[in-house]
Structure 1
Amino acid sequence: MRVIGLAGWSGAGKTTLLTKLIPEFNRRGVRVSTIKHAHHAFDLDTPGKDSWAHRQAGASEVLISSGKRWALLHELRDEPEAALPELLARLSPVDLVIVEGFKRDRHAKLEVYRAANDKPPLHPGDPSIVAIASDTALPDAGCPVIGLDDVAAIADCLFAKAQPLDTVLARAKEDS
């Protein structure tokens, strides 16, 4: 497995870009999984459903399964938030894992930058940013800048710059 991240401020278009990249990789025969960091509480099951009731009753984990999919919900309760290496270890093997968020971690990342967002670029302060997808020229970027709408070129770059899982895990271990 290889790992690459998408980093950028809220509103930059990370999710929009990711929903264009996944089909592009699928057309190329590349199996992709994603990890998305959320900054808030979220729910995957609906209040009143059995799985929700199990969690509300105090279950540590609830696995929901059907003929179409399965999902595992893990309640942290008072445990600390899971680190990226722990989450990566829980994924089934694929060709490429794209991580949306975790912008402070040191895995290789592509910055998604949109000028209209009126936020400063991340790349000057983050040596883990290996390329930028932008809607504007960034002549002093110090790394490749790709047009935000050039999905094929972004996919090429992501696949080329993705790091082997072992490298990502070793770097995270160094940081802890």
Structure 2
Amino acid sequence: MKVMGIVGWSGSGKTSLLVQVLPLLRARGLRVSTMKHAHHRFDVDRPGKDSFQHREAGASEVLVVTSSRWVLMHESREEPEPSIESLIQRMTPVDLLLIEGFKTHPHPKLEIHRKSEGRPLLCPGDPDIVAVATDQPLPDLALPQLDLNDPAAIADFILAHTGLA
């Protein structure tokens, strides 16, 4: 399974880009999955639902199944956050896994940078960033620069870099 990360500061447009590139990759016949790292507590479940009650009662995992999807919720409780490697092993193998976030993990990454946000580039401190998708040209940057507003070119770059082209 090939892996490509999408990293950048909060509000840079990582999710917006990912949801534009994903259908382009799917249209080329690739099976693509995504993984997203959240820095805040979140819940896909709601109080009052049976699955919520199962977790609140102490279940380590709850699997909810319908005819159109299934979701496995794992309660970490006192466990540390799992490693990205262990999470990838839990995923069904596909052609390409796009990972949003997990900035510090060593895997190939595309940095999303909006000069207008006034935030520094991540790539000088991260040798795993292989290119920067930006809204304005960045002089003196040795890495490939991609137009943030051209998702097709970004999809092409991801395919070429991962060897899926």
Smaller-chain TM-score range? over 0.9
Per the TM alignment, residue 139 of structure 1 is displaced from its structure 2 partner at its CA by 2.2
Q: Report the alpha carbon displacement of residue 31 of structure 1 after superposing the two structures with TM.
A: 1.0
Correspondence list, 1:15-164, <5 A: 15-162=15-162
Q: Residue type of the partner of 2:84?
A: L
Q: What are the superposed Cα offsets for residues 38-64 of structure 1, whole Å, 9 maximum, x if unpaired?
A: 001111111110000000111000000
Gap regions ≥5 residues in structure 1: 165-176
| Alpha carbons of structure 1 residues 102 and 163: separation in structure 2 relative to 1, 3 Å | farther
Q: Distance in 2 between matches of 1:24 and 1:151?
A: 8
Give me the TM-score of the superposition, normalised by structure 2: 0.96
Deviations 1:71-99, CA, capped at 9 Å, x for gaps: 00000000000111011101101110000
Moved over 4 A (4+): none
CA contact (8 A) 1:25 1:155 kept: yes
Q: CA deviation at 1:32?
A: 0.6
Distance in 2, matches of 1:16 and 1:24, equals 13
Asked if structure 2 preserves the Cα contact closer than 8 Å seen for 1:3 and 1:98, the reply is: yes
| Gap runs ≥5 in structure 2 | none
- Alpha-carbon distance in 1 for matches of 2:163, 2:108: 7
Q: Percent identity?
A: 54
